[in-house]
Structure 1
Amino acid sequence: MPELIRRIKPSTAMENQNSNPETNSVGPPSALTYLDPHYWDERFSSEEHYEWFKDYSHFQHLIKSNIKTSSSVLELGCGNSQLCEELYKDGIVDITCIDLSSVAVEKMQSRLLSKGYKEIKVVQADMLDLPFDSESFDVVIEKGTMDVLFVDAGDPWNPRPETVSKVVATLDGVHRVLKPDGIFISITFGQPHFRRPLFNDPKFTWSMEYNTFGDGFHYFFYILRKGKRCNEEKEDEKCSDPSISLYQDELEGEDYLFRTRIDDDED
């Protein structure tokens, strides 16, 4: 497996300011610590719950608009998030979660069983090499997990080839395991001008649209619909971006440094 990919997340100097009472964060000394697999095993050993990019209540309306209760769902990088539990409470019971950390997987399995959520499956797996048959899921969802691939990307306008290769490998796997009319949902800080060139690689048949959520600062909720790609000549008409505001100051928890990392890289 690529040595850099193991539950890496954007970092911040503000981690200890998270007010979630269920959180016992093991804050790293620097962003590069997120590239160390041992950090994540250690963190998940002591931390019970942490939510990246807002909790479910902030984008629940978008989930309900795009996922049917009958859908089979794959969550990439579950960590110790409550996303799968919230989906389950909303009636979506065919859920498979993966994470590369064995500690995260074991603790998630125990937590779900203790709450009686026996239908949710949790599997140790690499998002770069998904161990599932083609066309297995109606929905693939990730919340902050793909942002891991950009921690060491360099120039965000021209990311390192190694970064692009990993992102495309992840998207290849997602596209493969989605059913012909399946959707990929990506919840991220990544702005459209950075994500669009990757999502719109010619090998993929999905369309791309997005919504934003958050009070002030915007988080992005991308929806990629397999088999629905716009024709190039109609791209401007049917795939235009909504108007958004990008430069507010609603920043919290470990989201902070990823928001400011572009400026830091230029120093």
Structure 2
Amino acid sequence: MESRPANRNSDPNSNPGTNSVGPPSALTYLDPHYWNERFSSEEHYEWLKDYSHFQHLIKANIKISSSVLELGCGNSQLCEELYKDGIVDMTCSDLSSVAVEKMQSRLLSKGYKEIKVVQADMLDLPFNSECFDVVIEKGTMDVLFVDAGDPWNPRQETVSKVMATLDGVHRVLKPNGIFISITFGQPHFRRPLFMDPKFTWSMEYDTFGDGFHYFFYILRKGKRRNDEKEKDEKCKDPSISMYQDELEGEDYLFRTHIGDDED
């Protein structure tokens, strides 16, 4: 979810036919019809910065021989960037049939025939147990929080959807597999969900970004320690000093609705 200027026509990666502003409300992101309509006209958009900003974290945590599942690929170029870095055993998934069709076409046109693209709901992943070394999502789970209410005590409906997603990710990961979550959500809000006793993974994180921080979580299956201590003291509140493109971009609209109480 890269912060981009509100006028996307100035972006060389954008489609000239794309609308110049985001939706009027972050709640619109919960509507599947919105995404189908958006993907029908929009060729490319990166949420949470582009790959260059966290490439060093990817390389430190993913082996090129890994089998990787991307949740909510949309029209991101993340899978293409991973492919260029030597990771070819990839499966991209998205709930939107439009996104899947266009991603398949785009990858084939570029000769990336090894990358599989499937339609799938992250709340009910249709994959066998223990079949991926890595599951990665970039801003996809953030959509689940747009109607969460109090971030300290999110609505039960939100919690149920998040836990369904995490249950599925934990199930499809191989022993010692890792889940990478790239998100707006700060550790004191994500930790109670990520570290539910049902999961065997450990949790660590890093940050990246300029005006405000984005979080790069690494959850390692089978590595949880019974004596694992809270690490929130590592977290510094994201800066409220933002660059102009971050103030105008769609990321800012999305963030202000997800994390009004997080800053």
Instruction: Please report the TM-score for the alignment, with normalisation by the length of structure 2.
Output: 0.90
Is 1:235 aligned with 2:226?
Answer: no
- Whether the 8 Å CA contact 1:154–1:265 is kept in 2: the answer is no
* 1:230 shift after superposition: 2.1
Match of 2:131 in 1: 136
Letter of the structure 1 residue corresponding to residue 64 of structure 2: T
Letter of the structure 2 residue corresponding to residue 97 of structure 1: C
What per-residue deviation string (whole Å, max 9, x for no partner) do you get for residues 18-77 of structure 1?
853222444212222222211111110100000000000000000000000000000000
Aligned residues: 254
Residue pairs, 1:197-208, within 5 angstroms: 197-208=192-203
1:23 pairs with one of 14, 17, 25: 14
1:260 pairs with one of 239, 251, 256: 256
- Residues 217 and 55 (structure 1 numbering): CA distance in 2 closer, same or farther, change over 3 Å? same
Runs of 4+ in 1 over 3 A off after TM superposition: 14-19, 262-266
* 1:241 shift after superposition: 4.7
* Counterpart secondary structure, 1:65: helix
Structure 1 Cα separation of the partners of residues 77 and 39 of structure 2: 14
% identity of equivalent residues: 83
Is 1:62 aligned with 2:62?
Answer: no
1:98 pairs with one of 81, 93, 109: 93
Residue pairs, 1:9-158, within 5 angstroms: 15-16=6-7, 19-24=10-15, 25-26=18-19, 27-158=22-153
| Structure 1 unaligned spans of 5+ | 1-8
Instruction: Please report the TM-score for the alignment, with normalisation by the length of structure 1.
Output: 0.89
- Whether the 8 Å CA contact 2:188–2:232 is kept in 1: the answer is no
- Residues 194 and 90 (structure 1 numbering): CA distance in 2 closer, same or farther, change over 3 Å? same
Match of 1:180 in 2: 175
* 1:262 shift after superposition: 6.0
Structure 1 Cα separation of the partners of residues 259 and 72 of structure 2: 27
Instruction: Report the RMSD for the aligned CA atoms in angstroms.
Output: 2.3
What per-residue deviation string (whole Å, max 9, x for no partner) do you get for residues 123-176 of structure 1?
001001111100000000000000010011111111000000000000000000
* 1:107 shift after superposition: 0.3
* Counterpart secondary structure, 2:7: helix
Deviates further, 30-39 or 42-51: 30-39
Deviates further, 221-230 or 35-44: 35-44
